[in-house]
Structure formats: structure tokens, C-alpha cells
Amino acid sequence: MTTRKFDNSAIDLSQERLSQHVSEYSFEEALANGLLVNVTSWVRHEMGFGTSRYNVKIAVTARLWKTIVRISPLAKVWQTVVGRGNDVLWLAAYAMHRARQVGEDAANFQCFLPTEDDWGSECVKPLRVELCDEQGKAAIVIGYVEEFAML
């Protein structure tokens, strides 16, 4: 009788992919599955997300959406869901504008979004805005920086 030996060494998951590309999810599929929340109706032309005057779809990640709608009791005095959403959109628009000036299609920025379980500097959220080209149509996705690190 022979004894089998198994390799019990750890797998470095940072070097592994569970699928070919996470970006194989189309923008519409991500919206349908709840991974993204469509906020295009909140966008104003003056924000300048589109490179010309064409319409561009804008979505935030589900995790960012949960942060936008979870306003701390103290912040409810001066913030609303629509107001917080517009804050994120305006800051993302400015970050995208600055990125385009240097030939980039993505940028990181910060936004003050206090929730009931944040303390101190945790209220300042590191966010990212990225332009995605899906089948020749532009789409902008906004979310936490670490969410894009997985893509």
C-alpha cells in the first residue's frame, strides 16, 4: 500500500483569477443584477461627464449607493440622499475633467460621506470614477477605490 502525499501549500490568491475578466459583465448586466445603481437621471449637463454633448450613462456601485443613502443622524441636519448623490457626482465630474486633461480615463478622489458608524477621518471616503466603453457607448462608473482594484 502506498501513501499519497498532497501539496498543502497555500495559493497566492492575489495572483489568481476566478474568471477571465470581471469586466466581462456588461454595464446592463451589472445594473440588472444590482451590482450597479443607475444615477443618470441625477446628472446635469454642466457636470461634463460626456466628452462632447452626447448622453452618457452614469452608475455608482451598490456599496457606494448604500453609503449615499445611509446618512448619520447628525448629518441629516444638512444632508439629503439627493444632495449626497449630487456631491459625489460633482466631485467625480471634476476628477474626470482633471484626468482627461492628462489623457486618462479614470481618477481617484475623496468625498465626505458620514454614516452612523464612522468616526473621524473615516467619514472621508476614497472613491474612483472610470470611463467604460461598452459597445461604442460611454458609461461612467463611480465606486470605492478598492472595488476597482478587483477589476
45: in domain: yes
Backbone angles phi, psi at 34, to 5 degrees: 85, 10
Distance CA 132, CA 114 (A): 28
145: in domain: yes
pLDDT, tens digit, for every residue of 85-98? 999 999 999 999 99
Q: Are 67 and 113 in contact (CB under 8 A)?
A: yes
Predicted confidence at residue 15, as pLDDT, reads 46
- Domain encompassing residue 46: 24-149
Alpha helix (H) ranges present in the chain? 27-32, 62-69, 81-101, 145-149
What's the structural domain count of the chain? 1
Q: How wide is the angle at C-alpha 110 spanned by C-alphas 23 and 150, nearest 5°?
A: 25
Query: How many Å is the Cα radius of gyration of the chain?
Result: 19
Percent residues over pLDDT 90 in the chain: 40
100: in domain: yes
18: in domain: no
Q: Are 51 and 74 in contact (CB under 8 A)?
A: no
Length in residues, the chain? 151
Predicted confidence at residue 13, as pLDDT, reads 43
Distance CA 141, CA 37 (A): 9
pLDDT, tens digit, for every residue of 28-73? 888 888 899 999 989 888 888 876 656 788 999 999 999 999 888 8
Longest dimension (CA), the chain: 77
Predicted confidence at residue 50, as pLDDT, reads 76
